[in-house]
A and B are shown apart, each in its own frame.
Chain A
Amino acid sequence: NAGVTQTPKFRILKIGQSMTLQCTQDMNHNYMYWYRQDPGMGLKLIYYSVGAGITDKGEVPNGYNVSRSTTEDFPLRLELAAPSQTSVYFCASSPPSSGGAYEQYFGPGTRLTVT
């Protein structure tokens, strides 16, 4: 099992450019998440998905879009990059709750700089 994989590891964007951050998990998890991590701020939820075809906004969704066409993949799209989107982005997945406290499994992160 590779777990949760993210590409790219690093990226520098110019203001106004677009890009897609890729996330794939091979654990057949229903739930997938995108977070951003800024220094001293912890992790903030951007979007999440409870299964293929179903997505919902998290705490900080503005400037981002997601889609979930398969169980394995959950790409995050930045349409018009802004300096405020400079951050480290983490993808995570977890199995369905079913009354259990299933933890989230995290990818290694993508470090994005917008200049």
Chain B
Amino acid sequence: AQSVTQLGSHVSVSEGALVLLRCNYSSSVPPYLFWYVQYPNQGLQLLLKYTSAATLVKGINGFEAEFKKSETSFHLTKPSAHMSDAAEYFCAVRPTQGAQKLVFGQGTRLTINP
């Protein structure tokens, strides 16, 4: 069965610093991979997705993620953190064939320090 592990339930960075949120997946074949963001008291919103078209994926709000098959990773980065980036971030995996179901990581709460 596919699974996702997000390293670090809580990450804290200073405003203007690099944001790095880690995600590793477990799958026998490269799956589809997604990053979602959840702002307080809201639903989840798609940041970006990997569909095998390109290993470096750019998303909304200046975020990007790189798919590394050899490391089974899909880490999320942003060069310069902004206060508005404070939220919870979820990595999710879905097989390219079969049932269209997502498996989510446990989430990483990002705090931005002024």
Contact = CB atoms under 8 A, between A and B. Distances in A.
B43 A104 contact: no
B82 interface: no
Interface string A27-39: 0000101000000
A43 B104 contact: yes
A108 B100 contact: no
20 contacts: A4-B43, A41-B106, A42-B104, A42-B105, A44-B104, A45-B101, A90-B44, A92-B44, A94-B100, A97-B100, A100-B51, A101-B32, A101-B34, A101-B51, A103-B34, A104-B44, A106-B45, A107-B43, A108-B42, A109-B43
Given A40-B106, A40-B107, A100-B51, A106 B101 contact: no
Interface string B77-111: 00000000000001000101000111011110000
Contacts of B102: 33, 43, 45, 104
Listed from nearest, the 7 A-B pairs whose CB atoms lie closest are: A106-B43, A101-B32, A101-B51, A42-B104, A42-B106, A106-B44, A43-B104
A48 interface: yes
A75 interface: no
Contacts, number: 54
A101 B49 contact: yes
Interface residues of A, number: 27
B12 interface: no
Nearest to A97: B100
Given A90-B44, A106-B45, 10 more contacts: A33-B101, A41-B106, A42-B105, A58-B101, A92-B44, A97-B100, A101-B32, A101-B34, A101-B96, A104-B102
